Amino acid sequence: MVKEVHLLIDGIEVCVPEGTTVMKAAATVGIEIPHLCFLEKINEISACKVCVVELKGKQKLITACNSKVEEGMVVFTNSPKVRSVRRTNVELILSQHDCHCATCVRSGNCALQKLSNDLGIIEVPYKEEVPVTPWNHNFPLIRDSSKCIKCMRCVQICDKVQDMHIWDVQNTGSRTTVDVARNIPIEASDCTLCGQCITHCPTGALRERNDIPKVFEALADPEKITVVQVAPAVRTAWGEDLGLDAADSTEGKMVAALKRIGFDYVFDTNFTADLTIMEEGTELLTRLQEPQKYAWPMFTSCCPAWVNFVAKRYPKYLRNLSTAKSPQQMFGAMVKTYFAEKKGIDPNNICCISIMPCVSKKREAALPYMKSAGAGQDVDIVLTTREFARMLRAEHINPKVLKEQPFDSILGESTGAGVIFGVTGGVMEAALRTAYAVVEGQNPPADAFKQVRKTEAEEKACTSGGCESCSACGGEETRVLGNRKEAEFALGDKKLRVCTVSGLGEAEHLMQDIINGRAEYDFVEVMSCPGGCVGGGGQPIHDGCEMAFVRGKELYELDEKRPLRFSHENEEVKQLYAEFLGKPLSHKSHELLHSDHVNELYYFAKNYL
């Protein structure tokens, strides 16, 4: 039985369980204490000293975010002293922050801007001393030191959730800042570009490379045929930054908005998600027929950050990856071959653009071996969901007044299986649906493999630090957000042991378990971002909120509503095989849709230097 603690906050009696923080206790009575650096369970370091509160009888203020309640405490969240300290600390932060909000991608969605506005700060009495450190602006991830408030969230998310340890505190004293750990250039680091540091940054200090101008350039070029694909997870989030409700941010409105921007063809990455299942599912069945010829377990390969993680940390396991390219890259290869051929377009005149919930996709598209169609890179430009929303704003397009439109044909149809590619467990579920059908000769119930989905309870356990007694980390690491699910399914006469993982911290634990023989699987799906692509590093940002689960649910709803829910039933995919590829794993498929990923190993710094 947890003890109850009684305290008084701003004169209001509060009763909360022992161990509650003052901030949470205040929230129970509707008092939201202003805060900035705090990120629950991930960054509770009280660096910004914005959430200060006064304790009756004590001279020194305490921070509400990480101070636990005590019996009989008398707390003031708005005393003259608190007011003064809070204001001064925000002014001090502003004195070292580039306050050109008008040119900032986070304007209107910046925790510092909101805080400063809320406190009514209209001038800063201190000398402005904004630190500027150089950064390579060709790299897909941009760090702007002049906007960094040293809240350390990026360091913590990368350490605690993703276990990549890319960022660290650099220098000491007044010159203390955040930079790539061990003083190495970002290009040479192990950064997988998962982008979780961006989505957890309270300001505009971290963002993706801005590729919007390139898209406008292509749109303006009369010679170019612009073809855009939209990843599954994007449709759950594109309206968030535009303030749209569910009715105005449907798939159909998204297509209409893209057409209004002026793209010649609007296609769906879900189409190639279905195609991926045909290729990767067949590959799995082939490998299962001759298990001794392959390394086990087989890993999915659609997440470029995960492929990059394997190449950099566990290169020996590259051969475990499915050779199937990601849906984005399959799409690029199909547009510049099959589609171009069918439409009679010179593939060199096609500009292939994708809208992804992901920063790592920008890197994937630029990989030197991702040009199998022979017309430049298969995918020319990658925009994140956030860039897409910015583009719509720039084009003053109001989706509310648009009429829904369908995706264009021949690369636009998708089944429910393709839709759920954007959520953790989705690729696995989609693959199992088709694999079962192939082996058993008939479709399973569409929801037969639901077991790999992250449940509401698991999501709750995650965000409240469910891994505290983990034997692997001694309870020291708070492995929040990510998840891992195991399941066993009968496939013909074989038991298929599967595992789905999201978050690179979990992926690291998984690899250690596999290497040390603590876990054995046949097929493993990994998505680098907690919750899958719906929680991707290119998705809209909501300070302090994790949206992956909510968006994931939306994908499952879309899946349920789709008339077709099996990748192998996608008519356009069938047509593609009939007219162009032959069959899964055909020679042509291998040429255009597969890669051994080994080239990842040789692809390092030089491309950005």
Partner 1 sequence: MSRLKIATPNKAQLTVERLYKDLERHIVASPPGLCPVDLQLTFLKLCHAQTCGKCIPCRVGLGQLAHLMEDVLEGRATLKTLDLLEETANNIMDSADCAIGYEAAHMVLAGLDGFREDYIYHIEHGKCSYHITQPVPCVALCPAGVDIPGYIALVGEERYADAVKLIRKDNPFPTACALICEHPCEARCRRNMIDGPVNIRGLKRMAVDNARANTVEVPQKAESTGKRVAIVGGGPGGLSAAYYLELMGHHAVVFEEKSKLGGMLRYGIPNYRFPRERLQEDIDAILSTGVEVHLNTRIGNGEGEIPFEKLREEYDAVYVAIGAHTDKKIGIEGEESEGVISAVELLRNIGEEKMPDFKDKTVIVVGGGNVAMDCTRSAIRLGAKKVSIAYRRRQEDMTALPEEVEGAIAEGAELYSLKAPNRIEADENGKVVALWVEPQIIGPIDAWGRARPIQAEVPLMRIPCDVVVVAIGQGIETRHFEEAGLSVKRGTLAAMSDSEVKDVPGVFAGGDCVTGPATVIRAIGAGKVAAANIDEYLGYHHVIPCDVEIPQVKYDDKKPCGRIQMGEKEAAERKADFDAFENCMTKQEACQEAGRCLRCDRYGYGSLKGGRAAIW
Does residue 113 bind partner 1 (CB under 8 A)? no
Give the shortest CB-146-to-partner 1 separation in angstroms: 14
**Where are the strands (E) in 255-297, listed by range?**
265-268
User: Which amino acid appears at position 26 of this protein?
Assistant: A
Question: Rounded to 5 degrees, what angle do the CA atoms 607, 511, 200 make?
Answer: 60
Sign of CA dihedral 283, 286, 288, 291: negative
Closer by beta carbon to partner 1, 66 or else 210:
66
Q: Is residue 3 close enough to count as binding partner 1 by CB under 8 A?
A: no
Tokens coding 412? 């636009």
Structure tokens at 340: 């171009």
Examine residue 175 and tell whether it contacts partner 1 (CB under 8 A): yes
* Segment contacting partner 1 by CB under 8 A, of 53-61, 365-373, 481-489, 571-579: 53-61
Q: How far is the CB of 66 from partner 1 (least distance, A)?
A: 7
In this structure, what token pair is assigned to residue 74?
A: 């008398």
Q: Taking the CB of residue 337, how many other CB atoms lie within 10 A of it?
A: 21
| Cα separation, 361 vs 386, whole angstroms | 14
Q: Which of 6, 17, 28, 58 is close enough to bind partner 1 by CB under 8 A? A: 58
User: In degrees rounded to 5, what are phi and psi of residue 292?
Assistant: -65, -20
Among residues 24, 68, 400, 553, the one that binds partner 1 under rule CB under 8 A: 68
Q: In whole angstroms, what separates CA 524 from the centre of its chain?
A: 19
67 binds partner 1 (CB under 8 A): yes
Among 46, 282, 301, 539, binds partner 1 (CB under 8 A): 46
Site map for partner 1, 142-161, x if CB under 8 A? ----------x--xx-----
Q: Pick one of 14, 26, 31, 62: the residue that binds partner 1 (CB under 8 A).
A: 62
Please report how close the Cβ of residue 396 comes to partner 1 at its closest, in angstroms.
42
Closest distance to partner 1 from the beta carbon of 174 (Å): 7
Q: x-or-dash pattern for partner 1, window 6-45, by CB under 8 A?
A: --------------------------------------xx
Q: Could you tell me if 467 and 473 are in contact, meaning their C-beta atoms sit under 8 angstroms apart?
A: yes
Cβ proximity to partner 1, 86 vs 597, nearer residue: 86
- For residue 40, what are its two tokens? 């629950």
- Residue 119 or 470 having the CB closest to partner 1: 470
Residue 66 touches partner 1, criterion: CB under 8 A? yes
Q: How far is CA 92 from the centre of its chain?
A: 32
C-alpha to C-alpha distances, 14 to 1, 9, 20, nearest whole angstrom? 19, 7, 11
**Pick 294 or 314: Cβ nearer partner 1:** 314
Closer residue to partner 1 in complex, CB, 68/312: 68
Query: Cβ closer to partner 1: 68 or 259?
Result: 68
Provide the minimum distance between the beta carbon of 179 and partner 1 in the complex, in angstroms, as a whole number. Answer: 7
**Residues 208 and 139: beta-carbon distance below 8 Å:** no
Closest Cα partner for 287 from 260, 317, 322?
Answer: 322
Residue from the set 28, 88, 133, 286 that interacts with partner 1 by CB under 8 A:
133
Sign of CA dihedral 472, 464, 547, 500: positive
Element of type H or E holding 386? helix 385-394
Q: Which two tokens stand for residue 128?
A: 């402005």
Bridge partner list, 525: 500
Q: Is 127 in the site for partner 1 (CB under 8 A)?
A: no
Number of residues near partner 1 (by CB under 8 A): 31
Among 47, 228, 277, 576, binds partner 1 (CB under 8 A): 47
CB closer to partner 1 out of 68 and 260: 68
Q: Does residue 168 bind partner 1 (CB under 8 A)?
A: yes
Q: State which residue, 7 or 417, has the beta carbon closest to partner 1.
A: 7
Q: Which is nearer to partner 1, 74 or 124 (CB)?
A: 74
Give which of 567, 192, 294 is closest to 413, Cα–Cα: 567
Q: Contacts with partner 1 in 466-495 (CB under 8 A)?
A: 474-476
Contacts (CB under 8 A) with partner 1, residues 176-215 = 179, 183
DSSP 476-533: TS---S-EEEEEEEEETTEEEEEEEEESHHHHHHHHHHHHTTS---SEEEEESSTTSG
Provide the minimum distance between the beta carbon of 246 and partner 1 in the complex, in angstroms, as a whole number: 39
Work out whether 137 is an interface residue with partner 1 (CB under 8 A): no
How many Å apart are CA 303 and CA 324, to the nearest integer? 11
C-beta of residue 91 within 8 angstroms of C-beta of residue 48: no
| Residue 177: CB minimum distance to partner 1, A | 9
- 441 contact partners, CB below 8 Å, separation of at least 6: none
Q: Is 169 a residue that touches partner 1 (CB under 8 A)?
A: yes
Q: Between 106 and 153, name the residue whose CB sits nearer to partner 1.
A: 153
Residues lying near partner 1 in the complex (CB under 8 A):
44-47, 55, 58-60, 62, 66-68, 70, 133-134, 152, 155-156, 168-175, 179, 183, 474-476
